[in-house]
């Protein structure tokens, strides 16, 4: 392969691990539980109760201090007592109600106050009688600019690596226990 495509890395070579900048969170989440308790993520994204873990860890179902994985998919299972989950940032609030599967969104007014009522909408109607579980993850993209020179023998030499910035997508919504039904919003 190297002869046909000399600009590609040789088989078995490993790309260098480049330093990544600290992710600045554009949206922070909050959760309301069936017990009436509320939990909010901070910009530091650390768990206030479990050292060394991020804020999302407190939304996971745990046994013996460790998150529980789904036996078939291997995904971490979230707590089943979360009723409301919201994302808030840049003057906007997005919410999913896990009791019936509807979403809401709102914009703060010029004084930074939220409206009393938000516009509910369904992305998908959940199956009747199904328990809905929170679906949440972030997809981070780190952009890097690599400059190189190509020599006469067609080998390459990296001459510079620059941080090109980053972006993050926030995916949240609901899914059924079997994962066959789900609805999500993507915030960028």
**Local structure of 180: helix, strand or coil:** coil
Q: Which of 137, 141, 121, 119 is nearest to 175 (CA)?
A: 137
| Ordered per-residue pLDDT tens for the chain, 188 residues | 344 444 444 454 444 443 445 667 889 999 999 999 999 999 888 888 888 888 888 888 888 878 888 787 777 788 889 999 999 988 888 889 999 999 988 887 766 676 666 777 778 888 888 899 999 988 888 888 888 899 899 888 888 888 877 788 888 999 888 878 888 877 76
55 phi and psi angles, rounded to 5 deg = -60, -35
- Give the start-to-end residue ranges of the domains of the chain: 28-187
Using CA atoms, how far residue 90 sits from 107, 128, 150, 167, in Å, is: 9, 35, 44, 15
Q: Which of 22, 62, 66 is nearest to 45 (CA)?
A: 22
Task: Answer for the pair 136, 77: CB distance below 8 angstroms, yes or no.
Answer: no
**Local structure of 121: helix, strand or coil:** strand
């Amino acid at each position: 392969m190297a002869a046909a495509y000399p600009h590609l890395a040789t088989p078995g070579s490993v790309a260098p691990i480049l330093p990544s900048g600290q992710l600045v969170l554009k949206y922070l989440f909050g959760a309301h539980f069936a017990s009436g308790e509320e939990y909010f993520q901070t910009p530091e994204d650390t768990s206030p109760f479990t050292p060394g873990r991020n804020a999302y860890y407190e939304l996971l179902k745990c046994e013996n201090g460790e998150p529980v994985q789904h036996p078939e998919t291997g995904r971490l299972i979230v707590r089943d007592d979360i009723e409301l989950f919201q994302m808030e940032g840049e003057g906007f609030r997005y919410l999913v109600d896990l009791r019936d599967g509807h979403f809401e969104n709102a914009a703060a007014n010029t004084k930074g106050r939220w409206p009393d009522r938000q516009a509910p909408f369904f992305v998908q109607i959940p199956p009747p009688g199904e328990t809905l579980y929170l679906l949440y993850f972030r997809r981070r993209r780190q952009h890097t600019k690599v400059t190189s020179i190509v020599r006469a023998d067609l080998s390459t030499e990296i001459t510079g690596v620059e941080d090109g910035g980053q972006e993050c997508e926030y995916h949240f919504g609901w899914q059924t226990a079997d994962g066959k039904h789900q609805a999500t919003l993507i915030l960028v």
